[in-house]
Amino acid sequence: MKKFAKPSAAIFGVSMIALLISAPAFAQTANDAKDSDVIVVTAQKREQALLDVPLAIQAISGTELEESGIGELNDLIESIPGASSVSRTAPGFETIQIRGIASGTTGDATVGYYVDDVPFSVPNLQLAPPSRLFDLQRVEVLRGPQGTLYGQGAMGGTIRMITASPVYDDIIGRFQGEVSDYAGGDSGFAVDGVLNVPVVNDRVALRVSGGYELVGGFADAVLPTATTKNVNDTRSWNIRGKLGIKASENVSVELGAWRVVNDLDFRNTMDTPELYKNTTGPIDRPNYVRTTLSLFSGVIKADLGTAELTSSTSYIDSLLDFDASFLAGGILRNDSTFKTKALTQEVRLASSGDGPFNWLVGGYYSDGSIESDICLNVFLPCTTVFSVNINSTGKIDTKAWALFGEASYSFLDDRLTATIGGRQFRDKRSTRGVNRNGNTTTNDGDVFKSFNPRFNLSFKASEDFLIYGSVAKGFRSGSFQTAAQAAAASTALGVTVDTAVQPDSVWSYEVGAKGKLFGGLILLDTAIYTIDWKNIQLQSTLSGVATLTNGGDARSRGIDLGITLRPAQGLSFTAVGNINEAEFRSVFPQIVAINPLAAPGQRIPGVPKSSLQLTAGYKWDFANWTDANGFITGGYTFSNSQLDSTGLASDKLNEFNIRTGIGKDNWKFQIFGENLTNKRVAITRGSLGIQPNAPRKIGARFSVDF
């Protein structure tokens, strides 16, 4: 408790400053602030009020994202109980865990990502959508396994980015510009814009948004001959278009296209929070890591009266491209590409109406592939077959389908609701590859299956308070690794390790409560959970090669807590936290021998024991300036240390942020400071270095609607 006493006082101090600045606004009563607009979400693939959804879910509106300064996925993760970053190699090459379900950076993701109704899924790589969070209607974060409605890759949770839809009867435009500067580093800027135009009034509308961002560098490369400053700058741009068509009174169509490109000149892994020591290149080479994404989608909705039919089609084309050389106990070159293509189709039919019985049925199909060209080479160029860790090409094809359904019935005047659901999943995968070091060819294939039920019971203790219990299964499909990876594991374990990696799964048991207390003075969202994880796809690093082997079980237990206090008009205090105990329970002795961190009783790598975010905010109207309003928000973020797969521990994160602004009519201006104390720490620590937090950042943002 002593650790949090000082930050709590700091947050209280920020709030007191806001009170003193804005005292005249307190002529209003506290009761005026206790009723907020009903938040509508689609987490259960139908529109529902947030307080009626019996799940551990957060919904953050686009306005809240802006006022909180949440511009990218890593900013969002800090506000989610039980979530953290496992790795931040580059924009889009990020790995996230929720509730202790973390397994390194290889294999399929343990968190599912959706853009609207479109899944963002990359086989055998744990990637996140690489884009800024702009022009979004809201973000929904579902904690815990979502194996019934969202399926593959969602056994830790699901993050849904709901983009703003076209408006059919009005021309809407918005521009946003931001400048910032890192302490001891470079300046940066970002510009974003959106334009909505009705093409045919009340029938067809087009919405286009996009932007460009330059994130200034703040790390120095120390070379044998010179030191180059601020080498790790990042450039990102994206453009998204959505065409809305009202085909009839009951049928609507949305066609979307999104292009994203991110370039990182250097790497986010360094020797200290300030320096890349003993690092060579690619100072004169652009695009050390480039991530690109093209996403095309089409969503059709038809109101059939007693039910709504939804068809969602998407196509993803993404590329992760490495081009680097650096020193890590010797010259190491990484010249690798990973190309992914995936076509997905989902059709579902959901009941509509106000009756006690509700149901949903659907089907899902995916046809995807990932092509890899990997050269991780010590001492010599990748074209030389000598002292090569991995020098191979390969392709994994996946064809997956699923049938899913869910039904619920309400009793006792709709106060008690029972829900049961299930998903039958089948994934046919095949792989073929060539090991250029020896000119050998590998071909393999397998079929992975899983049935994933869900049971939920919820009780509305009052109109504004919900208690629920849930039992659910989550899963992750099996996959394949290269022959070099399998050979490295076989040599170390003394047993034959196949190129095929079998699926793993979780069973989650959860009790939660959410709602308003004392007429809206307090908002509460809390949950207690236990997750049993079976047949874990364990990652080990052997002779510089990351390998996967099945052979472990684990258990994650924790408490999520979110509480907001609104004592007066415009004033709020929020605390979001998690305490988690994620440990291995049983592991094959051969694996423990080469990976002692995977022994029973050891913490699961990539999972902090606890996290906390405290926020105090105040909004007010200016008494002598019509339609003008202001806001101020102060925040503190804490994250405990976490281990990597080799046992190295990261630092604890303690950051203070502040943001204040003023708005009038159609414009808003704000200034902000992040990591105000400029404390530099290792968010992750591994054998090749650390990934640090950013230094103090001071900036300003201006936005205007027209």
pLDDT along the chain (706 residues), means of 10: 36 32 31 53 89 91 85 83 84 85 81 87 78 89 92 87 94 96 95 97 96 92 76 91 96 96 82 66 57 94 95 93 61 79 95 92 95 74 58 88 96 95 94 77 87 96 96 90 71 74 93 94 96 88 69 93 94 95 90 81 92 94 85 94 86 95 93 96 84 94 94
Give one DSSP letter per residue of 198-217, joined into a string: EEETTTEEEEEEEEEEEEPP
Euclidean distance between CA atoms 606 and 643, whole angstroms: 6
Euclidean distance between CA atoms 651 and 639, whole angstroms: 9
> In this structure, what is the dihedral angle of CA atoms 433, 434, 437, 439, given to the nearest 10 degrees?
150
Residues 136, 615, 4: CA angle, nearest 5 degrees: 140
pLDDT of residue 158: 93
The 10 Å Cβ neighbour count of residue 330 is 9
Structural domain boundaries, residue 175: 2-705
pLDDT of residue 436: 74
CA distances (Å), origin 161, targets 73, 320, 350:
10, 21, 21
Euclidean distance between CA atoms 368 and 431, whole angstroms: 12
The 10 Å Cβ neighbour count of residue 199 is 13
Structure tokens that stand for 415 in this block: 């106060």
- Against a cut of 0.95, is the pTM above it? no
Map 495-550 to HEC letters: CCCCCEECCEEEEEEEEEEEEEEHHHCEEEEEEEEEEEEECCEEEEEECCEEEEEE
Give one DSSP letter per residue of 287-319, joined into a string: -SEEEEEEEEEEEEEEE-SSEEEEEEEEEEEEE
Euclidean distance between CA atoms 314 and 146, whole angstroms: 20
Structure tokens that stand for 115 in this block: 């853009």
Euclidean distance between CA atoms 537 and 604, whole angstroms: 12
Structure tokens that stand for 549 in this block: 């082997």
The 10 Å Cβ neighbour count of residue 104 is 21
Answer for the pair 485, 546: CB distance below 8 angstroms, yes or no: yes
Instruction: Give the CA diameter of the chain.
Output: 80
Structure tokens that stand for 605 in this block: 């790598």
CA distances (Å), origin 182, targets 217, 268, 307, 416, 699:
8, 16, 53, 53, 9
502: exposed, middle or buried (Cβ count in 10 Å: 0-12, 13-18, 19+): middle
Euclidean distance between CA atoms 218 and 564, whole angstroms: 35
Helix H or strand E segment including 17: helix 2-21
Answer for the pair 426, 447: CB distance below 8 angstroms, yes or no: yes
Closest to 485 (Cα-Cα) out of 547, 392, 550:
547
Euclidean distance between CA atoms 401 and 118, whole angstroms: 15
Q: Which residues contact 117 (CB under 8 A, 6 or more apart)?
A: 297, 299, 310, 312, 346
* Count of domains forming the chain: 1
CATH of the domain at 368: 2.40.170.20
Closest to 197 (Cα-Cα) out of 222, 174, 226, 228:
174
pLDDT of residue 296: 95
Q: Which residues contact 412 (CB under 8 A, 6 or more apart)?
A: none
Give me the residues paired with residue 90 across strands.
93
pLDDT of residue 71: 84
Structure tokens that stand for 390 in this block: 């991995």
pLDDT of residue 10: 36
The string over 360-382, giving b where at least 16 C-beta atoms fall within 10 Å of a residue's C-beta and e elsewhere, is: bbbebebebbbbbbbbbbbeeeb
Structure tokens that stand for 430 in this block: 């095949």
What's the chain's length in residues? 706
Answer for the pair 196, 153: CB distance below 8 angstroms, yes or no: no
Q: Which residues contact 223 (CB under 8 A, 6 or more apart)?
A: 279, 280, 283
Answer for the pair 557, 583: CB distance below 8 angstroms, yes or no: no
Give one DSSP letter per residue of 375-437, joined into a string: EEEESS-TTS-SSEEEEEEEEEEEEEEEEEEEEEEEETTTTEEEEEEEEEEEEEEEEEEEETT
Helix H or strand E segment including 374: strand 357-378
pLDDT of residue 657: 96
Q: Which residues contact 487 (CB under 8 A, 6 or more apart)?
A: none
pLDDT of residue 399: 95
pLDDT of residue 25: 31
